[in-house]
Amino acid sequence: MDDEIRERVRREAEVAALFNALKHDSDAQVGAIMGPMMGENPEFREHGDEIPGVVSPVIADVNGMDREEKRERLGELAPERLEELDAEDEEDDQVLPDLPNAEAYDEIRMRCAPNPNGPWHIGHSRMPAVIGTYAEEYDGEFIVRFDDTDPETKRPLLWAYDEILDEIGYLGFEPADVYRASDRLDVYYEHARQLIGMGGAYTCSCPAGEFSELKNGGEACPHREKDPAVVAEEFDAMVDGDYNSGEMVLRVKTDIEHKNPALRDWVAFRIIETPHPREEAAAYRCWPMLDFQSGVDDHLTGVTHIIRGIDLQDSAKRQRFLYDYFGWEYPEVLHWGHVQLDAYDVKMSTSTIKELVASGELDGWDDPRAPTVMSVKRRGIRGEAVVDAMTELGTSSSDVDLAMSSVYANNRELVDDEAPRQFLVRDGFEARGEGDDESYEAVEVPIDGGPDEATPQVHPDHPDRGDREIPVGDSVLVEVTDLPAEGDRVWLKGYGPVRYDGERFECLDADINIVREEGVDVVHWVPGDDNVGVRLRTMDGDATGYAEPGFADQSADTVVQFVRIGFARVDSHSPDESVAYYTHP
Which residue, 17 or 231, has its beta carbon nearer to Zn ion?
Answer: 231
Residue 205 Cβ, how far from Zn ion at the closest point, in Å? 6
Q: Which of 22, 221, 386, 563 binds Zn ion (CB under 5 A)?
A: 221
Which residues pair with residue 470 across a beta bridge?
Answer: 454
Around 526, how many Cα atoms within 13 Å sit in the side-chain half-sphere? Answer: 25
223 binds Zn ion (CB under 5 A): yes
Which residue, 20 or 203, has its beta carbon nearer to Zn ion?
Answer: 203
Which residue, 174 or 247, has its beta carbon nearer to Zn ion?
Answer: 247
Q: Quick one: which segment of 168-176, 214-222, 252-260, 535-543 binds Zn ion (CB under 5 A)?
A: 214-222
Identify the helix (H) or strand (E) that includes residue 202. strand 201-204
Which residue, 225 or 280, has its beta carbon nearer to Zn ion?
Answer: 225
Q: Quick one: which segment of 96-104, 115-123, 213-221, 299-307 binds Zn ion (CB under 5 A)?
A: 213-221
Residue 201 Cβ, how far from Zn ion at the closest point, in Å? 12
181-210: contacts with Zn ion (CB under 5 A): 204, 206
Residue 365 Cβ, how far from Zn ion at the closest point, in Å? 42
Strand-strand pairing, 489-492 and 421-422: unpaired
Please state, in angstroms and rounded to a whole number, the distance separating the CA atoms of residues 28 and 51: 16
Residues 296-316 as b or e (16 or more Cβ within 10 Å = b): bbbbeebbbbbbbeeeeeebb
Q: Which amino acid is at 82?
A: L
Please state, in angstroms and rounded to a whole number, the distance separating the CA atoms of residues 440 and 481: 8
Any idea what the Cα angle at residue 480 is, between residues 478 and 482, rounded to 5°?
A: 70
Which residue, 221 or 281, has its beta carbon nearer to Zn ion?
Answer: 221
Residues touching Zn ion, count (CB under 5 A): 4
111 binds Zn ion (CB under 5 A): no
Which residue, 224 or 308, has its beta carbon nearer to Zn ion?
Answer: 224
Residue 290 Cβ, how far from Zn ion at the closest point, in Å? 21
Residue 131 Cβ, how far from Zn ion at the closest point, in Å? 39
Please state, in angstroms and rounded to a whole number, the distance separating the CA atoms of residues 74 and 83: 10
249 binds Zn ion (CB under 5 A): no
Instruction: Please return the burial class of 546, using the count of CB atoms within 10 Å of its CB with bins 0-12, 13-18 and 19+.
Output: buried
Strand-strand pairing, 578-584 and 532-537: parallel
Angle between helices 79-93 and 67-77 (to 10 degrees): 130
Q: Report yes or no: 180 and 318 within 8 Å, Cβ to Cβ.
A: no
Residue 221 Cβ, how far from Zn ion at the closest point, in Å? 3
Which residue, 235 or 500, has its beta carbon nearer to Zn ion?
Answer: 235
Residue 227 Cβ, how far from Zn ion at the closest point, in Å? 14
Residues contacting residue 231 through CB under 8 Å, at least 6 positions apart: 196, 201, 202, 203, 250
Which residue, 196 or 356, has its beta carbon nearer to Zn ion?
Answer: 196
Binding footprint of Zn ion on the chain (CB under 5 A): 204, 206, 221, 223
